[in-house]
Amino acid sequence: MTSRGWREEDKGVSEALRSRIVSLVCRTVVYLWFGVLYYKLVSKLEWDLYQSVYFITVSLTTVGYGDLVPTSQRDKLFTVVYITLGIVFVFSAVADACVALFNLAERVTMRRRARQSFRDYEKSALVKEALLFAAIWLTMLVGAVVLCAVEGYDFVDGLYWAFQTCTTIGYGDIKIEHRRMKAFVIIYAFCSSIGLTYAIARMVGTASDVSRSRRKNALLGAKLDHDLIRRLDRDGLGVDRAEFVVGMLRILGLVTEDDAAPWFDRFDQLDQDNDGRLSSADLVRFAQTRRTETRSDDDDDALWHSAARLFFPSFGERAAVAADLGYALETPLAPNNNAP
pTM of the predicted protein model: 0.63
Instruction: Please report, as a single letter, which amino acid is at residue 24.
Output: L
Please, what is the end-to-end C-alpha distance for the chain in angstroms? 74
Residue 219 belongs to a domain: no
pLDDT at residue 63, as a whole number: 87
Q: In whole angstroms, what is the distance from residue 16 CA to residue 10 CA?
A: 10
pLDDT at residue 5, as a whole number: 53
**63 and 153 inside one domain:** no
**186 and 135 inside one domain:** yes
Distances (CA, A) of 149 to 154, 157, 159, 173, 293: 9, 12, 12, 18, 78
Range of the domain at 325: 288-340
Distances (CA, A) of 87 to 27, 62, 241: 11, 9, 47
**53 and 89 inside one domain:** yes
pLDDT at residue 73, as a whole number: 92
Residue 150 belongs to a domain: yes
Task: State the total domains in the chain.
Answer: 4
Mean pLDDT per 10-residue segment, the chain (340 residues):
55 76 86 91 86 90 86 92 88 78 70 66 82 92 95 94 90 88 91 86 81 79 76 77 82 80 83 81 80 65 51 48 42 42
Q: In whole angstroms, what is the distance from residue 106 CA to residue 201 CA?
A: 13
Q: Is 90 exposed, middle or buried (0-12, 13-18, 19+ CB in 10 A)?
A: buried
**9 and 110 inside one domain:** yes
pLDDT at residue 21, as a whole number: 84
Instruction: Please report, as a single letter, which amino acid is at residue 246.
Output: V
pLDDT at residue 111, as a whole number: 66
**149 and 202 inside one domain:** yes
Query: Do 196 and 166 form a contact (C-beta atoms < 8 A)?
Result: yes
Q: In whole angstroms, what is the distance from residue 308 CA to residue 292 CA?
A: 24
